[in-house]
């Protein structure tokens, strides 16, 4: 079992920007907590409808 660690809690493309160096910067940490890291991955996949094929979202996800 993975240990709990810091998690964003609401990770989706609306809570990140890309800075001038090409790095992703996260913001909106209102839901942050100690949880399993896989939860942030699950939230991101759910928000991007990872299980459904939407051309624009697929391309956006690949750029991450």
Give the pLDDT score at 49.
60
- What percent of the chain is predicted at pLDDT more than 70? 77
Q: Please report where in the chains the tokens 């992703």 appear, as a residue.
A: 24
Instruction: Indicate the pTM of the whole model.
Output: 0.63
Q: How does pLDDT run across 12-31, given as a tens digit for each residue?
A: 888 999 999 999 999 999 99
Proportion of the chain in helix, strand, coil states, percent, rounded to 5: 35, 20, 45
Give the pLDDT score at 41.
87
53 Cβ contact partners less than 8 Å away, ≥ 6 residues apart: none
């Amino acid at each position: 079992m993975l240990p709990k660690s810091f998690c964003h809690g609401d990770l989706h493309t609306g809570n990140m920007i890309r800075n001038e160096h090409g790095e992703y910067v996260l913001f909106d940490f209102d839901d942050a907590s100690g949880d399993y890291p896989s939860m942030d991955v699950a939230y991101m996949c759910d928000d991007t409808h990872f299980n459904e094929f939407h051309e624009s979202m697929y391309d956006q996800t690949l750029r991450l």
